Amino acid sequence: MSDYDIAVIGAGYGGVTLAALCAKAGKRVLLIDKNPQAGGKAMTIERRGYRYEMWPVLGTPASGSRFHELAAELGVEDQAPLLGPEVAPGGVGSYYKNAAGEWRIAAAQTQVGSDPMGMVESLKDVYGATDDDIAAMGEMFAALMGTSDEELDALDEMGSLQWFRSFNLPEPLITFLAALLNYIFVAPVNRIPVSETIRTLRDLFVGTGGRYAGGGFGRLAELAADYVVAHGGTFLTNARVEKVVIENGRAVGVATNKGEFTADAVVSNAGIQPTILKLVGEGTLPDDYVKWVMDLEPGLAFVGVRYFLDAPVFSAGLATAYSDQSWWDDERYAAAQRGEWPDASLVFVGATTNYDPTLAPEGHQIALLGTLGSPDPKATMNDEAIRRLEATVAEIWPEVSEHIIRREPYSASQVASLTRDSVVPGAGGECIGLAQVIGQCGRSKPDPRTPLPGLYLVGCDAGGYGCGTHQAVDSGFKVTAMVLEDLGG
Ligand SMILES: Cc1cc2nc3c(=O)[nH]c(=O)nc-3n(C[C@H](O)[C@H](O)[C@H](O)COP(=O)(O)OP(=O)(O)OC[C@H]3O[C@@H](n4cnc5c(N)ncnc54)[C@H](O)[C@@H]3O)c2cc1C
């Protein structure tokens, strides 16, 4: 008999969701992470009097999410209350630099979806939309809500930018939508499939965006790992999986720096490329599968800085800022790589203490700032991206510099070392996982069941859809069902 029914490599949101649900189903689960705690890219740490994520992490949708389902399944709703932006003073704030170079501020209550009339007013006031433009936006919205599931499948191959442009929207409204997709998918807008966009924007319009959790975004992951232990499983921390153990053409366990463990199924949350190319290694799987995995494209990075402030500078819990030049499609990303940058950065600010003031000493604010960057842990362009991000932030919030107590930049190299090993040149520091682009989404998304019997993938690279962490938890639910089915319930 194996040591465990299921060994899970990685306690990111995909891994912990699957581990906890399998433990709930009565399976003997081994959950392993190289870090000292659960949460992966969305981990919350405690250091020098502050509790915070390593970068801005806010969830979409805010209500009715897979996070709510997970908390309910584990019975931990009270221990990590999921908080929508309405609890944060200032809610959601968005700033748009118009063609005249003036920053226009959308009122806080006009967060996407929660207030349709407020949103129309904001599109007119901030983006200069006319009644005809609003009608065109309405047409797009009707198409978005009215597309059937079969029609959606056919839209796996169409790029979202092209689709938005087909509604004859003016450039400022294209910016509004393209920036939104950059924040949600962190990928070039021209190649994000319309199917993925429609599925995700529907969730956003129904459930709004900007969810956080009391005690930190990673709190639910910690509780899920605790749940595994409370239900007879093991959570092995500071333990790196070095190899998937294979016998007679089947995954039968894992070799770690803390010993070898056998399991009937091995589920990896470490990313498809690190799992197949490093933990399994070449020579076991069909060459064409290995080559296909090697050629998969990582998403773009989010890079930026953490500010610890001695006063609340940011009034909104979630703030965004951009101009018509800030969002990235392939062309603009290539331009930035050549050193041609937009007039303003695409800014994302998560002021997490606006949601939960207990995360910092009284009166202090934690502001996690991010912008688009390269996923290559060695990319030098990311330093410039951070410099420009801070310059744009200082333009909008000039008082911020007087209140910074600590300033901690982060970049693709930190993302890779905390979470995903860089096993393919140019990859590892991606924000989410595999790029959610045509050829890697919808029906083309990697199958969580790998060609190696007994080995599965969970997390953002396989099995789910949607925005970052939500995609990981969605994958956790779906891959759990597959693994339990294969193990016979
Ligand atoms: C800068 C930044 C900003 C982001 N902002 C948002 C946001 O606002 N909203 C949002 O929803 N998402 C956001 N995301 C994305 C989101 O955090 C991720 O998409 C999601 O958390 C990924 O979950 P996962 O389960 O796929 O994997 P991960 O979180 O990557 O977890 C993988 C886990 O596997 C472990 N691991 C890897 N290899 C091994 C090994 N060999 N042995 C043992 N353990 C191993 C890692 O330590 C890690 O804990 C952001 C990400 C970044 C980097």
End-to-end CA distance of the chain: 17
Atom 44 in ligand 1: which residue has the minimum CA distance?
33
The answer to whether the CB of 343 falls within 8 A of the CB of 443 is: no
Closest among 229, 273, 259, 291 to 433, alpha carbons compared: 273
Question: Where do we find the tokens 């994520």?
Answer: 53
What is the rounded radius of gyration, in angstroms, for the C-alpha atoms of the chain?
Answer: 22
Atom 37 in ligand 1: which residue has the minimum CA distance?
270
Atom 34 in ligand 1: which residue has the minimum CA distance?
10
- In tens, the pLDDT along 292-333 reads 999 999 999 999 999 999 999 999 999 999 999 999 999 999
Q: pLDDT band for 110, please (50, 70, 90 cuts).
A: very low
| Ligand 1 atom having least distance to the Cα of 303 | 1
Query: What's the chain look like in SS3?
Result: CCCEEEEEECCCHHHHHHHHHHHHCCCCEEEECCCCCCCHHHCEEEECCEEEECCCCCECCCCCCHHHHHHHHHCCCCCCCEECHHHCCCCEEEEEECCCCCEEEECHHHCCCCCHHHHHHHHHHCCCCCHHHHHHHHHHHHHHHHCCHHHHHHHHHCEHHHHHHCCCCCHHHHHHHHHHHHHHHCCCHHHCEHHHHHHHHHHHHHHCCCEEECCCCCHHHHHHHHHHHHCCCEEECCCCEEEEEEECCEEEEEEECCEEEEEEEEEECCCHHHHHHHHHCCCCCCHHHHHHHHHCCECCEEEEEEEEECCCCCCCCEEEEEECCCCCCHHHHHHHHCCCCCCCCCEEEECHHHCCHHHCCCCCEEEEEEEEECCCCCCCHHHHHHHHHHHHHHHHCHHHHHHEEEEEEECHHHHHHHCCCCCCCCCCCCCCCECCCCCCCHHHCCCCECCCCCEEECCCCCCCCCCHHHHHHHHHHHHHHHHHHHCCC
Q: pLDDT band for 106, please (50, 70, 90 cuts).
A: confident
| Ligand 1 atom having least distance to the Cα of 11 | 49
CA distance 185 to 195: 13
| Ligand 1 atom having least distance to the Cα of 432 | 19
Which numeric CATH code is attached to 85-132+171-188+300-413?
3.90.660
Ligand 1 centre to CA of 273 (Å) is: 14
Ligand 1 centre to CA of 128 (Å) is: 38
List the domain boundaries for the chain.
4-43+218-296+432-486, 85-132+171-188+300-413
Q: In the chain, what's the furthest Cα-to-Cα distance?
A: 71
Burial category of 341 from C-beta neighbours within 10 Å (exposed 0-12, middle 13-18, buried 19 and up):
middle
Ligand 1 centre to CA of 17 (Å) is: 13
Ligand 1 centre to CA of 188 (Å) is: 20
Question: Where do we find the tokens 């996407």?
Answer: 112
pLDDT of residue 122: 83
Range name among 85-99, 163-177, 199-213, 446-460 with the lowest pLDDT average: 85-99
The answer to whether the CB of 388 falls within 8 A of the CB of 11 is: no
Ligand 1 centre to CA of 133 (Å) is: 38
Strand partners, 347: 321
- In tens, the pLDDT along 348-360 reads 999 999 999 999 9
Q: pLDDT band for 114, please (50, 70, 90 cuts).
A: low
Ligand 1 centre to CA of 269 (Å) is: 9
Higher pLDDT, 276 or 123: 276
∠ CA 441-85-64, nearest 5°, is 50
State the chain's mean pLDDT as an integer.
Answer: 95
Does the pLDDT of residue 108 top 90, yes or no?
no
| Ligand 1 atom having least distance to the Cα of 459 | 26
Q: Is 85-132+171-188+300-413 the same fold as 4-43+218-296+432-486?
A: no
Kindly list the protein residues whose Cβ atom lies closer than 6 A to any atom of ligand 1: 9-15, 32-35, 40-42, 55-59, 240-241, 269-270, 274, 302, 370, 415, 419-421, 431-433, 459-460, 467-470, 472
- Report phi then psi at 268, rounded to 5: -110, 130
Atom 12 in ligand 1: which residue has the minimum CA distance?
468
Ligand 1 centre to CA of 473 (Å) is: 11
Mean pLDDT of 424-447: 96
Overall residue count recorded for the chain in this entry:
489
4-43+218-296+432-486: CATH class: alpha beta
pLDDT of residue 174: 97
| Top-confidence range, 36-40, 86-90, 209-213, 418-422 | 36-40
Q: pLDDT band for 116, please (50, 70, 90 cuts).
A: low
Atom 4 in ligand 1: which residue has the minimum CA distance?
57
The answer to whether the CB of 269 falls within 8 A of the CB of 353 is: no
Residue of 31, 268, 269 to mutate, ligand 1, most atoms within 8 A of C-beta: 269
Closest among 395, 328, 19 to 183, alpha carbons compared: 328
- In tens, the pLDDT along 251-261 reads 999 999 999 99
CA distance 121 to 2: 62
CA distance 165 to 162: 5
CA distance 18 to 13: 9
Q: How many CA atoms lie within 13 A of 337 on its CB side?
A: 15
Does the pLDDT of residue 64 top 70, yes or no?
yes
∠ CA 144-148-149, nearest 5°, is 110
Mean pLDDT of 78-82: 95
Ligand 1 centre to CA of 311 (Å) is: 30
- Report phi then psi at 267, rounded to 5: -120, 125
CA distance 266 to 272: 13
